[in-house]
Homo-oligomer: A and B are copies of this chain.
């Protein structure tokens, strides 16, 4: 790794909260529900033998706030400054983040565990996984030193309403520093003393501890006096609690509020179960291990952490609502992301897929009519789904997303076809993968409606259908639908006749054909299969003399795109291995995709000069989550193992995340020539979980 100073999430599962830490300066901090790092100071340090203090470099020294009280006389004592460690070691894994410097070692534990289906899981199990806290073990080595030395851990508050204060909690016998009962750090070690004030420097320079007890300010520290020639380990719980209304539009609260009364209960529980939590973390680290290379391990751990930083498990009345917020944009359960998160959730929490699909069906679906481009005539469309469920903790009105707008042909336009396909792929993958055929059966009518909705978007006349999207939803009001690749150029942005979307449409038709066949609904199965074949043939017939499939199959488009192969992942995950085999019924299609891929994965086309993947030959905007997915497809499904599909590329992709500016944003998805340009602080990189399925 080029740098160890990258921000990473340390997030309790489903709490949309985070300790973001790792980038230098006041660049991280503890926060709930934000779209970016809190940009606050986090303090972890210790006294030197000369009474001065040194800390990890996660803070900035601002103007002394005492000046505001005594403007005429106050002069800051600059000798109070805290130095920073020069030699620092970090070991970053999925569930542990270990920092070593000077005489300190801090391990931050954040668990990665499956959440049981809330309908059937005992409360105690739910508490274990959903407790909104992460843990820290801090070892201070004062051996070889003849006097006691002070260590400290604390933070600058992000809340503009409540001040940050020391807390002594009688009932659970806890000591802590907390802000408004929302964010706090607690310990059950009563030798640790809390202190609050205007700044860490002021707190540390205070010689009379009594002066810190009742102070309120925007910074607080937990102070530890480590005895001479002693090595001691302290344990802390870093806790979050958002009481009351978590969202508007639809009123919900955090699911954990049904399990824990308040933040001190969270802290007490966390500390009481420290050993088990720690053991689970050490155990789960293996998820990133196995056959993965160090670069893959790093990227996957980083991506999963960013995923959890965006997860928000809510309850609306009695109904659980699983939400993944869209990173810096905070759109809720963006359906094109759900289709990428699918692989991770099927591994960890399959019931969340069902939960999201059901909410889409019940509240965020709609039925439209469709039009040919440039024409006014409306034709039947059908059932489809909104782009998202709302934004920034506000649920959108039923049937509408917060994102989609009419009259556009680019970013912010409708994604009706893309989301129809995404819902279908998730539903079919969920049913086949989990064996929850009951659920799928129950929605057989819905799947039938979806099939006809897809067909209607192909062509109103049966004889003129080609298996791919030809009409836009009337909701665009004469604009054009787009795909999830909303910020790319036309090669991936336009939905109609788009190669990427055609590939996913083919996968949906394949899945539908298999589903209806298994159900004995032969007519429907045949219909779907016919569309799948039409689709595959249309794609293959577009194959260009120069050896590639054009990204948009019209108007002589010459863009080359990697995500041509993206759709293959879905039949694979559904278990329809025949469909993705060169020897199977779609062998001609698979072989064409393989040829396309081998031809475009080269420098000047779909590789940057340094070997990083460029998802479109005509755009510098490359998306890591999609690269990860297509790497899996290329290697595991198409069996392509060139140097371009392996370590060489991973090294570049990891370096993108660790770039000196990008590293601030935890995991970011959209990289324009390697610079995080959009989709920062983003959950989507969990597509990398597919790597762990590779042989």
Contacts and interface: CB of A to CB of B under 8 A. Distances in A.
Nearest to A677: B71
A162 B393 contact: yes
B393 A161 contact: yes
A330 interface: yes
Interface stretch (A145-153, A213-221, A341-349): A213-221
Contacts of A211: 405-407
A245 B180 contact: yes
Interface stretch (A394-402, A532-540, A557-565): A394-402
Interface in A321-378: 328-330
Contact of A163 (B328, B330, B410): B330
A244 interface: yes
A390 interface: yes
A214 B678 contact: no
Interface stretch (A45-53, A62-70, A112-120, A284-292): A62-70
A587 interface: no
A329 B405 contact: no
A199 B145 CA distance: 59
A243 B248 CA distance: 13
The 5 tightest CB contacts between A and B, nearest first, are: A163-B392, A71-B677, A216-B391, A211-B405, A70-B411
Contact of A400 (B34, B180, B213): B213
A411 B75 CA distance: 12
Contacts of A181: 245, 248
A442 interface: no
A682 to B, nearest CB: 12
Given A72-B620, A73-B411, A245 B245 contact: no
A402 B181 CA distance: 18
Contacts of A489: 72-73
B410 A73 contact: yes
Contact of A70 (B243, B402, B405, B678): B678
Interface string A389-429: 01111101100111001110011100000000000000000
Nearest to A71: B677
A297 interface: no
Contacts of A160: 33-35
A400 B69 contact: no
A545 interface: no
Nearest to A411: B70
A393 B216 CA distance: 10
Chain multiplicity (copies): 2
B214 A400 contact: yes
A301 interface: no
Given A69-B678, A70-B410, 10 more contacts: A33-B161, A34-B160, A66-B412, A68-B328, A70-B486, A162-B392, A162-B393, A163-B392, A208-B406, A216-B396
Given A216-B402, A244-B244, A402-B216, A329 B69 contact: yes
A621 B70 CA distance: 10
A178 B393 CA distance: 13
Contact of A71 (B178, B216, B397, B670): B670
A contacts with B: majority SS = loop
Nearest to A178: B248
Contact of A72 (B68, B407, B487): B487
A477 interface: yes
A672 interface: yes
Given A214-B401, A244-B243, A161 B392 contact: yes
A640 to B, nearest CB: 29
B69 A412 contact: yes
Contacts of A401: 214
B407 A216 contact: no
Interface in A435-481: 477
Contacts of A687: none
A390 to B, nearest CB: 7
A575 interface: no
Interface in A66-116: 66, 68-74
A74 B621 CA distance: 13
Contacts of A248: 162, 165, 178, 180-181
Interface string A177-217: 01011000000000000000000000000011011011111
Nearest to A680: B68
A249 interface: yes
A464 B501 CA distance: 96
B70 A215 contact: no
Contacts of A412: 66, 69
Interface string A527-558: 00000000000000000000000000000000
A525 interface: no
